[in-house]
Structure 1
Amino acid sequence: MNTVSDVLHALDRLTGGRVVKSLNDLSTGEHPFVLPKSSNIPGKGILELPGLVYGKLDQPVKKIAVTMTMTEGSIELAHATGVDAIVAHHPIAEGANSGGVILKNYLDLYNIAAFELHEAFHGLHPGISLLHGHEAYRKEISYGGLEGNILFVGKTIPEVKVLGDILTRLENLMKIDQEEHLLMVEKDIRSSQSLTETSIVTRGHILNGDETTSVNNIIHIFPHTGFTAEHLRKAYEEHPEADTVLASISRVDSDHELVQTANELGLNFIVGNSHVLEILENGLPLAYALNTLLPDTEVVIFRERITSMALQEVGGEALQKYAEEMSENFLVKKQVTKSS
């Protein structure tokens, strides 16, 4: 039977040695992927720790769940389905990823080990580029000296000739038609016409150009990583062959400076997959790699599905009455007491 140690070694192998192997690696100066992340909001910074975050090395692992972001929902689902280890792409933090309580209490309760990778996984495969219809001939994970600022520059694959081909490719590969059908059925079951879902409302679209605009060379960016208009100018100066800017994982609106700069430079601008689909772009290859390296261990995917619906459409009549009573009797009417 495989153990937590075996999972750790598998992650180290598939990342090419990027995981933390000893306490000496915990210094940000000693390990290139032990990275502090902070907006300087008091108490909200985090240290990325690729590899084992919590768990005992000799703990048996029969079943692994790969997810993007570990939550209390992930922990509950893991326990209910016999998962021994959660491998999260995004960094794990006390409270934030464990239902508001400390990680030790929650993970010990169900005897679950937790791993993370994030920046240590970025740039290991060309999948995100290929899904969006181009082969990257340049890959950066710290463009402009900014940790985590990813840039791909690529040449379109033969079947992608116009911007519309990229959108069609993504719709087909991501099975957006299934998501639309699922949403339609759920609307009917819940009697909620306001119901919507992330992958539907964040689907790809074109901001500069149209579906018939030709595309050959792509500057592929990820706006949430800190990629700026100055970065775009620099990238275009380095790659004047580029004709299109592609933004994925995160997106921008038509009035954003990145779109305006692209327009100024004569570049098309297209928005691809949103962050909600990264479980397919990065999570799925990671899961297949773990399945190959640990053939005796079952690997599953934990996929988030976030929906939005009008307040008055949530729950049945009894649950709505409960919420109204709790609000009115205990929250809205609560008196504010001043200390003497």
Structure 2
Amino acid sequence: MTNEALSQTCPTVADVVAALDGLTGGRVTSSEGNDNPWVISKDSGIPGKAVTERPGLVWGSPDKPVRRLAVAMTITEHHIELAYASGVDAIVAHHPIADAASSGGVALADYLSLYGVAVLECHEAFHGLHPGMAHLHGHRPFYVDPAYGGVHGLVVMVGRPLPGVTTVGDVLARLDAGLERSLDRRILDGERAARQCADLVDSATAPGMRVLAGDAEAPLGEVVLHAFPHTGFGEKQFSQMLAEYPAISTVIFSISAAAADTPVVASAAARGLNVLVGSTHASEIFENGLPLAFGLSALLPNVDVVLFRDRVVSIPINSVGTGALREYGHLMAQEHLLPRAEAVRARAAATTVAATPLSNSEQAG
């Protein structure tokens, strides 16, 4: 069947864009003057690494039929390859999409055109639309700001504990059950056994879920501050939040984690507040991605919606494979890479010797 015939029988990329626009309350197509306020550039000042996120269609034809749609957090070449291999016509990514970074180091258009995969993104435009993050952590927010202090992406929430969630330990137990982390632990145990490597760790289970100040039995108190350190939330923002909401008694960090010795944690601990780390970025595909996926599925009932979940595994190099892979790695390093490194060191040493001036006695000799 031709694309033209398919477009008459099933939804298209344009329909996916319209569904995204509806779910975000018009943020995909909204504008103030001629600019959409949700088109946001991010720049750390690292040369050449800035990126601009544009909610909606990034690449692909609006007329392309969509029979299977994937929802992902951060697109890489793995997602593009999986999409093509599993019959996915379009991917909706939460995080901004960028040339090379999202496509195996090559031009994004070339990679996507090769497989005919359309990609869409919806990041800041999706923030603050549902209380799922707070719900999973056991509180109901009464204040949410997706751009605290005017900084896009610096999300903060202030809420009150849900009934039955009274201690720090209750929050961690609720998360463990709600995110079904026992399944991730079983998967990890199975891979450790298959690889015969007890030192294997993964991104689904290693980070997060710990108490930084206080203890598991400590009461949460009446007001909870929920923040995300990777967005730039630090001691300055914490002090400002306490000034605005002095009843805060517990601080929850999620998606990312502050270290126990950072100023913001020390400041909270000195005030007698509880500080805990909840969920991590590995679970955001459930926290934000799953509501988006179910929303899209409801609006596009003829589309098969799937979730692309990332799981990064750390394997000691001497446990990779069963022998052949390690032999390959050793061979390439020993015969091709290390000789180059030795040559570079030799040239550097020769240059150093040539540049060293002779002492008076050496000149006299």
Q: What is the one-letter code of the residue matched to 1:301?
A: L
How far has the Cα of 1:31 moved from its partner?
1.6
**Gapped runs of 5+ residues in structure 2?**
1-9, 348-365
SS at match of 1:282: helix
Cα distance between partner residues in 1 of 2:323 and 2:216: 46
The question of 1:41 aligning with 2:50 is answered: no
Q: Give 2:17's match in structure 1, choosing from 8, 12, 29.
A: 8
Work out whether residues 28 and 34 of structure 1, in 8 Å CA contact, stay in contact via their aligned partners in 2: no
Q: Give 1:87's match in structure 2, choosing from 89, 92, 95.
A: 92
Matches within 5 A, 1:102-181: 102-181=107-186
Identity among equivalent pairs (%): 45
Cα distance between partner residues in 1 of 2:300 and 2:34: 32
**Gapped runs of 5+ residues in structure 1?**
none
TM-score normalised by length of structure 1: 0.95
Cα distance between partner residues in 2 of 1:98 and 1:107: 8
Q: What is the one-letter code of the residue matched to 1:102?
A: A
Cα distance between partner residues in 2 of 1:179 and 1:28: 47
Work out whether residues 317 and 326 of structure 2, in 8 Å CA contact, stay in contact via their aligned partners in 1: no
Point out the structure with max Rg over C-alpha.
2
How far has the Cα of 1:264 moved from its partner?
2.7
How many residues are aligned here? 334
How far has the Cα of 1:29 moved from its partner?
7.7
**1:287-328 alpha-carbon deviations (Å, 9 max, x no partner):** 000000000000000000111111100112111111111111
Q: What is the one-letter code of the residue matched to 2:55?
A: P
**1:207-248 alpha-carbon deviations (Å, 9 max, x no partner):** 111111111310100011111211111111111111101100
Aligned-residue CA RMSD in angstroms?
A: 1.6
Q: What is the one-letter code of the residue matched to 1:46?
A: V
The question of 1:326 aligning with 2:335 is answered: no
SS at match of 1:199: coil
SS at match of 2:134: helix
SS at match of 1:333: helix
Cα distance between partner residues in 1 of 2:104 and 2:335: 26
| Matching residue of 2:276 | 270
Cα distance between partner residues in 2 of 1:252 and 1:190: 32
| Matching residue of 1:70 | 75
How far has the Cα of 1:20 moved from its partner?
4.3
The question of 1:298 aligning with 2:329 is answered: no
Work out whether residues 208 and 257 of structure 2, in 8 Å CA contact, stay in contact via their aligned partners in 1: no
TM-score normalised by length of structure 2: 0.89
Work out whether residues 28 and 35 of structure 1, in 8 Å CA contact, stay in contact via their aligned partners in 2: no
Q: What is the one-letter code of the residue matched to 2:262?
A: H
The question of 1:227 aligning with 2:233 is answered: yes
Work out whether residues 20 and 52 of structure 1, in 8 Å CA contact, stay in contact via their aligned partners in 2: no
Cα distance between partner residues in 2 of 1:221 and 1:63: 35
| Matching residue of 1:248 | 254
Deviation >4 Å, runs of 4+: 335-338
